[in-house]
């Protein structure tokens, strides 16, 4: 069974640029959630995708957007990067819609530094 | 509003000591889930336990135990006979129970960094 994989693991961007982060969900999972974890803080929910549609969003501006593909992998896109976007971005996969369906399995994250 | 507070920022113990990590939560929901996750230096969050608000029984899994007290809105985590491999950041989290909406909306505390020294 393949776990959740994320790429790239580390990247450096400058303010104003755009970034795309990728996530392959665990085999058999059809839901992907994205979280932002600033240094020394707990993860914060960005949004979730279920069967290729956004299924819930946290308090993040529209410049944070995402996609889910037919194979359930996902992308997180951030436009017009700001210094405060520097964080560890975590992807989690799970099966089913609604919180009754099992636990979230997290990847190791993509660490983004914005200069 | 939902909120999770982990008042202990860092804890340091010597191997074989018992240690308790505190978690206090706030929610207006009458039904909810509580979680504990472990985050080793590699970064991924490792699921430890999920408990729903209907079940206040304490749970033990090997050296780990959890004490859920709805009356004090607490869900504390105890590691018995700690080991160096237990060193990590531990997060407590809360989510609503829903039947079709977003599953992913976990509200995390700020975490407690546990260092176990040999």
Confidence of residue A74 (pLDDT cuts 50, 70, 90): very high
Best mutation target, A36, A42, A44, to test chain B (most B CBs within 10 A): A42
What does the DSSP assignment read for A42-74?
--EEEEEEETTEEEEE-S--TTEEEEE-TTS-E
Residue A2: pLDDT above 80? no
Model confidence pLDDT, tens digit, residues A11-59: 999 999 999 999 999 888 888 999 999 999 999 999 999 889 988 888 9
B50: contact with A, CB 8 A cutoff: yes
Collapse the DSSP code of A84 into the 3-class scheme (helix H, G, I; strand E, B; otherwise coil) and give the result. Answer: helix
Sorted by sequence, the CB contacts under 8 Å of residue B62 that are 6+ apart come out as: none
Answer whether B43 sits within 8 Å of A101, measured CB to CB.
no
A-B contacts (CB, under 8 Å): 89
Model confidence pLDDT, tens digit, residues B52-106: 888 888 888 999 999 999 999 999 999 999 999 999 999 999 987 655 555 558 8
Answer whether A99 sits within 8 Å of B45, measured CB to CB.
no
Best mutation target, B48, B103, B112, to test chain A (most A CBs within 10 A): B103
Answer whether A99 sits within 8 Å of B96, measured CB to CB.
yes
A25/A34 Cα distance (integer angstroms): 11
B61: contact with A, CB 8 A cutoff: no
A72/A29 Cα distance (integer angstroms): 7
Which residue in the set B44, B95, B110 is minimally distant from A41, CB to CB? B110
């Amino acid at each position: 069974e393949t776990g959740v994989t994320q790429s790239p693991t580390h990247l450096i961007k400058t303010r104003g640029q755009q970034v795309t982060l990728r996530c392959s969900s665990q085999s058999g999972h059809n839901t992907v959630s994205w979280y932002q974890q600033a240094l020394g803080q707990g993860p914060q929910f960005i949004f979730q995708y279920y069967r290729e549609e956004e299924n819930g969003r946290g308090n993040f501006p529209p410049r944070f957007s995402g996609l889910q593909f037919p194979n359930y992998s996902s992308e997180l896109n951030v436009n017009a990067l700001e210094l405060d976007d520097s964080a560890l971005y975590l992807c989690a996969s799970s099966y089913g819609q609604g919180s009754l369906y099992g636990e979230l399995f997290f990847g190791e994250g993509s660490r983004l530094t914005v200069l | 509003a939902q909120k999770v507070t982990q008042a202990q920022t860092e804890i340091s113990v010597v191997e074989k000591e018992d240690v308790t990590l505190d978690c206090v939560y706030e929610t207006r929901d009458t039904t909810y889930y509580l979680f504990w996750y472990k985050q080793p230096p590699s970064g991924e969050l490792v699921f430890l336990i999920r408990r729903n608000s209907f079940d206040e029984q304490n749970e033990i899994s090997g050296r780990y135990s959890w004490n859920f007290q709805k009356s004090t809105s607490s869900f504390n985590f105890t590691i018995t006979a700690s080991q160096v491999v237990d060193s990590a950041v531990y997060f407590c989290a809360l989510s609503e129970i829903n039947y079709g909406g977003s599953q992913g909306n976990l509200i995390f505390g700020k975490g407690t960094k546990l260092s176990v020294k040999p």
